[in-house]
Amino acid sequence: MAIAVYLAIYSGLLVFLIGCFLRIREYSRVPFHLRWELYPVPHEAPQYAAHGGSYFESAESWRKPQEHHHVREWAAMLEEIVFLRSVWESNRRLWVSSFCLHSGLYLSIAAAALAAIAGVVPAHAALIPVSAGLATAAAWIGITGAVVIVDGAILLLISRVREPGLRNYTKGADIFNLLFFVATFGLLIAGTLVSGHAAATAEIVRGALRLDLSLPIHPLLGAGVVCASALAAYIPFTHMSHFIAKYFTWHEVRWDDRRMERGGALERRMAENLQYRPTWAAKHVGADGQRSWVEIAAGDPPQEVRK
Amino acid sequence: MRPGVSLNDFSRTDREPLIHLSNADLMPLPEPLTDKKDDPVSPALSEECRNRYECGLDDTCAVNIPQPKSPQEEERLVAQFLTGLEKLFSAANNWTFLQPLLLTMEHCTGCQTCADACHIFEASGRNELYRPTFRSEVLRRLYFKFVKHGGLFSAWQHGDIRLNWPLVARLIELSYRCNLCRRCAQACPIGCDNGLVAHELRKLFSQEMGIAARELHDQGSMLQLKAGSSTGMNAEVVKDNVAFIDEDISERTGIEVHTPWDVHGADVLLIHNAGEIMAWPENPGAFALILTLAGVSWTMSSELAGYDSINYGLWYDDAQFARVALKHVEAARKLGVKRVVLGECGHAHKALCVVADRMLTGEFNVPRESSLPLLRDIVLGGKIRFDPTRNDFPVTLHDPCNLVRLMGVVEPQREIVRALCPQFREMEPHGVDNYCCGGGSGFAIMSGNNFSDWRFHVAGRRKLDQVLTAFSDCLDPATPKYLCAPCSNCKGQFRDMLAYYDLWEKNRILYGGLVELIVNAATDVKPGFIEWEWH
């Protein structure tokens, strides 16, 4: 039993990391795009950020260095990630369920991290209380996280089925994903409750780190861990990997107000784009696959007869 | 979803509209328009229009797409669309917006947080067709099916859709039912951008299939690149008109004004939306007077497009957008001015200051900025004396989306009206949370068929609600009221919408720009610059 559970954990984590890497690579390799920011932008100077404004509010702003206040940006990110501020402000109906699901996930990840730390604490007599304390904290945080996730996922399922606005845009996979969460964390809760003298989740993590094949694992908890590993492997290949997308949408689109400076790094990045050779077919574009983007932009449009 | 309107219906092969909106369906309006009989009934599309063009979306028609004459022509158009779809997701063809488009395609969770942020969806009585995710979902399904070549598993994961000509025709029209205000994107917890989707669809149709709203392309960017202005005015005509405006302003204000043309080395190159010169001459006149009184070194340019800041390519076509932006910068370079300053035109601000920023490299990177901070500094700087009691009437301020949410120019205009208008009151919400006037993305100049009825009834309804609410304590026609909109397109929408609902005649709500309020309060100017008459 233990070897199967460990293999699931190793492979689940590996696929998760590979999937995340591929996603990040996909979006990082896309060409540097035109500015498309949305205000408020939290890293603007305080006198502008207070009302959602920008450096454009100052005459001759181009004479002054552009300010970038990282602390304000981090605070805004923290508020968004931990408390789901956008959902709170714009979709209060969905906030409770969404907050449960997300905060439960954070708690579960924290529990896994604590269990992993407990697992690598040396088996020295003086450190046994530390290890045990971490494992106990991991168990309580983990079980709390799992319960909150199950609640959130069930509430989201109900919303997706009952609310017409959500129902009409809900695909088979969306229902499956939420059921996957309910099943996985339901099994982990049930497995923890019935495992008795068998290993707890924290001990499984410790066993996986030390390849302890003698560890007794209750089949129900083992199934929960296998499901959790499969879920981790599955997430990067779905829209649930929005934790990656969000970095790009917020930092490289919504909040990216970096202006061009002559001879600057952005100008060098853009120079490559201006040499692309588009092939759009409408006559007025004048693209033939030979002329570069900048040549097309610098020329006048061929006259055409429009439909 | 209302019965009869679903994503599957988008491929319906009959030519009947998917929805019919009646006034009873729409969001109610406040006083004085609570009575349904005060809400004009939209005329039906003409028989000729329905027989000639694709009108299978709703009760209006923005683009006038000719109906294909044969199944073969339909197939050819669908094949063209598919080729364009591939290009939309390729770096060589769409490096300009590929990253945000991909992120929007691949990560929408369908949570509908964006829906309540959309003024069109809300005003339509939450009609499913206008939900911001509706058109995005159509494109998303097409993307996974035809660009990512998804099979059955993909269809289960992302949803399936049937591609045919009626779907493409409806998608063309639906891309012109969004103001591109991006209020939905501001609300999205993931950062997906349904406004961008409408923008990218318009690009695909224009750049690959040669299909766009005539007002934006033939009468817009093409005319501007050929004649110098979308108004059709060449340099000589525009100079004549401005000379006439100078004369009129000098007479009205008692202060001699001469607009300088083509002054080399001037500090400021002022570029107006040329529509102001024709429709609202008091606006460029007021600008000339303020800059003259403040002693600013400034000029206008008679270069091709150097006297018209509009850039309609921003709304539908990257190639046209880039060409016009380059013409604007070229005008500044030829004169060797220190900076380009944009008059009261929201989309021109966004186009030249923000979106064009990264393509203007090296010597083309001429400083460009809004006129509002300059005006604020003049008003608060003491060079001109003001008497705010001259503006002692109710004033509210409209926030043009392109200036505020999309560029972050929020306070300068407020500092001016707070200083000069004792009865200033905000609309709610305002600033970066504002609502579009309903004329955004080119709608203000689009009035073919019965499209203008749609833009007043649906696109502009939420803003009309805000305006009426802001003036709810003084609706009596005995009190003249001023709706300040520092943007030409927004003013065009307000002019048409206030007239449609007869709000000048019945309630004395006048619209106008910001500089008119400044000149009206200047003590060195003859009193009564703002003329309380409809224009």
Instruction: Determine the Cα angle at A171 with ends A168 and A177, to 5°.
Output: 130
Residues of B in contact with A250 (CB under 8 A): 191
Query: Nearest CB to B6: which of A26, A58, A168?
Result: A168
Residue of B nearest to A38 (CA): B406
B27: closest CA of chain A, how far (Å)? 18
Q: Cβ contact (<8 Å) for A249 and B323?
A: no
Residue of A nearest to B157 (CA): A173
Residue predicted with more confidence, B15 or A190:
A190
Q: Cβ contact (<8 Å) for A260 and B158?
A: no
| pLDDT (tens digit per residue) in A282-299 | 999 999 999 999 999 999
| pLDDT (tens digit per residue) in A66-89 | 999 999 999 999 999 999 999 999
The pTM of this model reads 0.96
Check whether domain B227-375 has CATH 3.30.465.10, yes or no? no
Chain A contacts in chain B segment 380-439 (CB below 8 A)? 404-412, 431-432
Question: What is the pLDDT confidence band of residue B49, given thresholds at 50, 70 and 90?
Answer: very high
Region B82-109: what's the mean pLDDT? 98
Q: Does B116 touch chain A (CB under 8 A)?
A: yes
Residues of B in contact with A30 (CB under 8 A): 91, 98-99, 102
Q: What is the 3-state secondary structure (H, E, C) of chain A?
A: CHHHHHHHHHHHHHHHHHHHHHHHHHHHHCCCCCCCCCCCCCCCCHHHHCCCCCHHHCCCHHHCCCCCCHHHHHHHHHHHHHHCHHHHHHCHHHHHHHHHHHHHHHHHHHHHHHHHHHHHCCCCHHHHHHHHHHHHHHHHHHHHHHHHHHHHHHHHHHHHHHCHHHHCCCCHHHHHHHHHHHHHHHHHHHHHHHCCCCCCHHHHHHHHHHCCCCCCCCHHHHHHHHHHHHHHHHHHHCHHHHHHHHHHHHHHHHCCCCCCCCCCHHHHHHHHHCCCCCCCCCHHHCCCCCCCHHHHHHCCCCCCCCC
For residue B188, pLDDT beyond 70: yes
Query: Nearest CB to A59: which of B190, B193, B369?
Result: B369
Region B229-241: what's the mean pLDDT? 96
Query: What fold does the segment set A2-32+84-254 form as a domain?
Result: Fumarate Reductase Cytochrome B subunit (1.20.950)
Chain B contacts in chain A segment 125-154 (CB below 8 A)? none
Region B62-86: what's the mean pLDDT? 97
Q: Does B1 touch chain A (CB under 8 A)?
A: yes
Region B252-262: what's the mean pLDDT? 97
Residues of B in contact with A53 (CB under 8 A): 408-411
How far apart are alpha carbons A35 and B69 in whole angstroms?
Answer: 41
Which two tokens mark B390?
Answer: 């001259």
Region B91-101: what's the mean pLDDT? 98
How far apart are alpha carbons B211 and B203 in whole angstroms?
Answer: 9
The number of helices, as runs of H, and strands, as runs of E, in chain B is 24, 8
Residue of B nearest to A283 (CA): B210
Residues of A in contact with B93 (CB under 8 A): 276, 278-280
For residue B332, pLDDT beyond 90: yes
Q: How many CB pairs under 8 A join A and B?
A: 293
Cis preceding-peptide flag for B429 (omega within 30 of 0): yes
| pLDDT (tens digit per residue) in B421-445 | 999 999 999 999 999 999 999 999 9
Question: What is the pLDDT confidence band of residue B2, given thresholds at 50, 70 and 90?
Answer: very low
Supply the pLDDT for residue A143: 94
Residue of B nearest to A275 (CA): B92
Supply the pLDDT for residue B500: 96
For residue A305, pLDDT beyond 80: no
Interface predicted TM-score of the whole assembly (ipTM), two decimals: 0.95
Q: Does A66 touch chain B (CB under 8 A)?
A: no
Which of B405, B7, B435, B64 lies closest to B214 in space, CA to CA? B64
Q: Does A92 touch chain B (CB under 8 A)?
A: no
Chain A contacts in chain B segment 59-78 (CB below 8 A)? 65-66
Cis preceding-peptide flag for B30 (omega within 30 of 0): no
Chain A contacts in chain B segment 128-187 (CB below 8 A)? 128, 131, 133, 137, 156-159, 182, 185-187
With tokens 């990257």, the residue in question is B318
Measured in whole angstroms, the distance separating CA B420 from the mean position of its chain's CA atoms is: 27
Please list, in sequence order, all residues whose beta carbon lies within 8 angstroms of the beta carbon of residue A307, skipping any fewer than 6 positions away.
B65, B66, B209, B210, B211
Region A145-165: what's the mean pLDDT? 96
Query: Nearest CB to B355: which of A35, A253, A287?
Result: A35
B66: closest CA of chain A, how far (Å)? 7
Query: Nearest CB to A86: which of B99, B131, B189?
Result: B189
| pLDDT (tens digit per residue) in A106-151 | 999 999 999 999 888 887 778 888 888 998 999 999 999 999 999 9
Using CA atoms, how far residue B292 sits from A62, B256, B286, B340, B416, in Å, is: 24, 9, 10, 17, 18
Q: Cβ contact (<8 Å) for A53 and B410?
A: yes
Domain ranges of chain B: 8-209, 227-375, 385-521
Query: Nearest CB to B405: which of A38, A80, A285?
Result: A38
Which of B415, B301, B392, B399 lies closest to B349 in space, CA to CA? B399
Chain B contacts in chain A segment 32-51 (CB below 8 A)? 32-41, 44, 48, 51
How far apart are alpha carbons B204 and B198 in whole angstroms?
Answer: 10
Query: Nearest CB to B408: which of A52, A59, A250?
Result: A52
With tokens 């604020």, the residue in question is B376
Domain ranges of chain A: 2-32+84-254, 276-307
Q: Cβ contact (<8 Å) for A90 and B187?
A: yes
Q: Cβ contact (<8 Å) for B100 and A249?
A: yes
With tokens 């089949």, the residue in question is A219
In chain A, the N- to C-terminal Cα span, in Å, equals 68
Query: Nearest CB to B96: which of A33, A260, A303?
Result: A33
How far apart are alpha carbons B322 and A248 in whole angstroms?
Answer: 25
Q: Cβ contact (<8 Å) for A284 and B405?
A: no
Q: Does A214 touch chain B (CB under 8 A)?
A: no
Q: Does B465 touch chain A (CB under 8 A)?
A: no
Q: Cβ contact (<8 Å) for A283 and B131?
A: no
Chain A contacts in chain B segment 183-222 (CB below 8 A)? 185-193, 196, 206-212, 214, 217-218, 221-222
Q: Does B96 touch chain A (CB under 8 A)?
A: yes
Query: Nearest CB to A86: which of B91, B113, B326?
Result: B113
Using CA atoms, how far residue B13 sits from B168, B176, B243, B533, in Å, is: 11, 21, 56, 50
Supply the pLDDT for residue A122: 80
For residue A35, pLDDT beyond 90: yes
Please list, in sequence order, all residues whose beta carbon lies within 8 angstroms of the beta carbon of residue B201, skipping any fewer than 6 positions away.
B135, B139, B171, B172, B174, B175
Query: Nearest CB to B185: which of A38, A60, A303?
Result: A38
Supply the pLDDT for residue A119: 84
Q: Does B224 touch chain A (CB under 8 A)?
A: no
Residue of A nearest to B140 (CA): A169
| B484, containing H or E segment | strand B481-484
Region B477-501: what's the mean pLDDT? 97
Q: Cβ contact (<8 Å) for A39 and B84?
A: no
How far apart are alpha carbons B213 and B65 in whole angstroms?
Answer: 9
| pLDDT (tens digit per residue) in B334-372 | 999 999 999 999 999 999 999 999 999 999 999 999 999
Supply the pLDDT for residue B1: 41
Q: Cβ contact (<8 Å) for B361 and A260?
A: yes
Residue of A nearest to B195 (CA): A36
Residue of A nearest to B354 (CA): A35
Mean pLDDT of chain B: 96
Region B91-107: what's the mean pLDDT? 98
What is the Cα gyration radius of chain A? 26
Region B202-230: what's the mean pLDDT? 97
With tokens 């006198």, the residue in question is A47
For residue B4, pLDDT beyond 70: no
